Structures are given as structure tokens and as C-alpha cells.
Structure 1
Amino acid sequence: MSSNTESHAKSDASAAVKTYAIGELAKEFDITTRSIRFYEDQGLLAPTRRGQTRIYSLRDRVRLKLILRGKRLGFSLAETGRLFELYDVDKTSAKQLETILELIADKKADLHQQLEDIKIVLVELTNLEQSCLNTLAKVTNR
């Protein structure tokens, strides 16, 4: 084996066992260490321990990234946890993908309803604003 191939194999092996400290993950994802500990308390992350020190694996890092993405998309931590459980049980991801599609459909329906509600409130605010302007014009023109 050439030295280049050997070093590539070593870097692949070291990447597979890469670990992270809580501070590293907090900095990388721009969140607090308290948030990471909360996700751990919720059972979404499972770092190993060396004394009092938490050691996060690549799996934990990926899960943290997915938690934050799910949160940004409006998924609850319970929904994210459910997806993790499905993945852990079925590595083919078929059930997980079906569940994600259901969750997406639900989120989209919720967002469409919120959009309609916002449109209604905007119309009502515009009407109220116009009424106030009309009344103000009458009061100030006397």
C-alpha cells in the first residue's frame, strides 16, 4: 500500500471515531451548552462519559444537526425523537420516510391555516386603520 493510500485509510478511520466536546458542538451550531444538555435529558443525544466530561460521537453531532433543522422547520422535540426511534429500529428508513412525509403534510397544513389567519388579521387591521384615519380626519377638520 502506498503511503498516500495508508494516510487516506488512517484519516478515514480517525474520522469514524471523531469525538466532540460539548463546547465544540455549542460553538459549531451557535447554541448554548445548556441546550445540548437539555436535548440529552430528552433522550435525543447519548454522549459517553469520561468522569464528568461528556464525549459526543459523530452520531450525536448528526442528531444535533437534525434536531436543530427539525426545530427550524417547526417539528417538536417529541416528533424528532419519534423519527430517531424509527430510524434506530428500521435502518432502511422506509417507515421513517413515511412518517416524515406525514409530519410534513401536517406542518404544511398548519402553515397554510396560519397564512389564512394572518391574511384575515391584516384585512381587519387595515379596516381598523382606515376607520381611525377617517375619524381622525373628521376630528381635526372641525
Structure 2
Amino acid sequence: MSETYSISDLARELDITTRAIRFYEEQGMLSPERRGQERIYSPRDKVTLKLILRGKRIGFSLAECKELIELYDPSHGNRKQLETFLHKISQRRQQLAQQLLDIQQMQLELDTAEERCLAALAGGQTSA
């Protein structure tokens, strides 16, 4: 028999709350077995949770994580999943590059505003 996990086992091992695990279950991303009221999670559920957490860390939406997980097909390999993942990584890099440019532009604007304020204060002016 393969190893199974309780919700508290997974929460402790992956350092997340049981509430988060139940949320992912509500979103249809996990489907544990039930023994009465108890949820029994499989090794596949554990891997799915790890993938969700990794995806969230690198900025993927929950919908993107779900899409990638659903693309996995152990009987046909995971080429489609990997190709989609690479495309999403590229998109995320582009988003981050744009955000970096936006931040740099904002810093320049802050520098300019700060210089004007300091110059106005040094010159005895009180309007910005």
C-alpha cells in the first residue's frame, strides 16, 4: 500500500495551513479519499500541492497552476505540460521585466520630485 497523508500531515510537512489545503480541494485541484469525515491524501496529492506552492512562489495565478497540473498525463508523458510551463515562464519574465522598468521610471520621478523639493527648501520657497 502506498503512503498516505492526513490533512495535518501535509500541512505540517509543506508548512501551509489546513485551510489552504481545503481551499485547493474546493477549487478542484485536490481530490482526497474520504474515510468518514477524514481526508486521506495520496502521494499524487502531495506532488500537486508542491506544484501549486511552487507556482504561487514564482507568481503564477491559481488558474495557471491548475492548467499546468491538468496537462500532466502520465500515460503520454508530460511534453505538453513542459512546453506550456516554458511559455508561462517566458510570459512571467516579460511581466517582471516590465515591472522593473516601471519601478525604475518611478524611482526617477521620485528623484526629480525630491530634488525639486530640496531646491525649493534651499531657496526659501514654500511651493512645490
Fold match by TM threshold 0.5? yes
CA displacement 1:60-110 (0-9 Å, x = unmatched): 111101100000011111111111111137641111111111101110110
- In the comparison of the two structures, how many residue pairs are matched? 125
* SS at 2:30 equivalent: coil
**Could you tell me how far apart the structure 1 residues matched to 2:124 and 2:33 are?**
71
CA displacement at 1:122 relative to structure 2 = 0.6
Please name the residue that 2:122 is paired with.
137
**Could you tell me how far apart the structure 2 residues matched to 1:110 and 1:30 are?**
28
* SS at 2:39 equivalent: strand
CA displacement 1:15-54 (0-9 Å, x = unmatched): xx11111111112222111111011111111111111111
Please name the residue that 1:72 is paired with.
57
Q: State yes or no: 1:106 paired with 2:106.
A: no
**Could you tell me how far apart the structure 2 residues matched to 1:121 and 1:90 are?**
50
Q: How does 1:13-24 map to 2 (within 5 A)?
A: 17-24=2-9
**Could you tell me how far apart the structure 2 residues matched to 1:80 and 1:105 are?**
15
The ranges of structure 1 where at least 4 consecutive aligned residues each deviate by more than 3 angstroms after the TM superposition are 88-91
Q: Structure 2 length normalisation: TM-score?
A: 0.90
Q: How does 1:1-142 map to 2 (within 5 A)?
A: 17-88=2-73, 91-139=76-124
**Could you tell me how far apart the structure 2 residues matched to 1:91 and 1:58 are?**
20
Read off the aligned partner of 1:84 and give its amino acid letter: I
Unpaired runs of 5+ residues, structure 2, are none
Highest Rg: 1 or 2? 1
CA displacement at 1:138 relative to structure 2 = 2.2
Q: Structure 1 length normalisation: TM-score?
A: 0.82
- Supply the RMSD in Å over aligned alpha carbons: 1.6
Unpaired runs of 5+ residues, structure 1, are 1-13
